[in-house]
């Protein structure tokens, strides 16, 4: 009985958490890493920012 309750609770929590509509923001450096993120840009679920140089990446890790 306890296992069944835990299973139902986990299924309910997983169904609730899957309905998020927020976009995930990803920062990638220009070049080969940017080419590997093209499929994420096309999906519309992610906000991919391509930056030049390491300075914006260091600033994003710091914030």
At 7-35, the pLDDT tens digits run: 888 888 877 766 666 778 889 988 888 88
The whole-number pLDDT of residue 17 equals 67
Angle at 30 (CA atoms; ends 25, 35), nearest 5 degrees:
80
Mean residue pLDDT of the chain comes to: 83
Residues 46, 23: contact at Cβ < 8 Å?
yes
The whole-number pLDDT of residue 26 equals 87
Residues 47, 25: contact at Cβ < 8 Å?
yes
Task: Answer whether 0.75 is exceeded by the pTM.
Answer: no
DSSP code string of the chain? -HHHHHHHHHHHHHHHHTT--PPEEEEEESSHHHHTTHHHHHHSSEEEEEESSSHHHHHHHH-
């Amino acid at each position: 009985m306890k296992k069944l309750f835990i299973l139902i609770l986990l299924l309910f929590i997983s169904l609730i958490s899957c309905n998020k509509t927020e976009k995930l923001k990803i920062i990638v450096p220009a070049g080969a890493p940017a080419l590997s993120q093209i499929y994420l840009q096309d999906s519309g679920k992610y906000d991919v920012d391509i930056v030049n140089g390491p300075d914006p990446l260091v600033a994003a890790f710091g914030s």
